[in-house]
Amino acid sequence: MLWIEWFMMLIKAFVKNVEREGGAMKKLALVDVDGTLVMKTSANGDEFEGVIPFGEDYWELWNKSTSKAKGLVGGVEMVKRLKREGYVIVVVTVRGASARGVTVKKLKEIGVWDLVDHMYFRPLVCERWYWKKEENVGRRDWRNGQKWGSDQVKDYLIPIIERKLGGKFVVALEDENHEVMRKHGMMVVDAAVWGGGKEG
């Protein structure tokens, strides 16, 4: 796959420039799941009819549905390549912690689980209000009554993960949130190149 070679050349040049500016570092690669490693799971099919959006029943159905998501070969190949290049592979997903079991199972199924060094899900602080809105109005994480979207969650998690792991995210494999990744100094590899970001 020529595009993988091209991206890896760009990433190497980017890393050399970062290292010149800030010295040696632990290289972290942020890897998204939905739309990047697997096809996105639709959240509006017949099985969701009458289910309260984003409540516990909703996520239970979504978790069951996403177990059927097809893997994206391009994303899997990029993860393998980054691992060979010495990156610490960090899966950062907006999936809630309730999806941990189905996510691990899917990553094993597509052949990347053994390459993953760390995995972070949407923190409870970002989703508590789904279940108990009345109790959470006015909380710092309430965000004017809107759910924390993918970009907000990842913007929140990136500096926390970097501090915890003692490294710097250099590259991101993502189908969206590109501006957030660039804001944090990452080179973005857009999953659209291998067909990511489409509804499954």
Domain membership of residue 70 (yes or no) is yes
Q: Indicate whether 96 belongs to any domain.
A: yes
Residue 154 has pLDDT above 50, yes or no: yes
Tokens found for residue 160: 């926390």
pLDDT band at 138, cuts 50/70/90?
low
Q: What are phi and psi of 142, to 5 degrees?
A: -70, -35
144: left (phi over 0), alpha (psi -120 to 50) or beta: left
Number of folded domains that form the chain = 1
Give residue 189's domain range.
25-194
CATH number for 134? 3.40.50.1000
Query: Residue 52 falls within a domain, yes or no?
Result: yes
Q: In this structure, what DSSP letter does residue 53 have?
A: T
The percent of residues above 90 in pLDDT, for the chain, comes to: 50
> Residue 152's pLDDT is what?
82
Residue 13 lies in a domain: no
Torsion of CA 182, 88, 78, 110, to 10 degrees: -120
pTM > 0.85: no
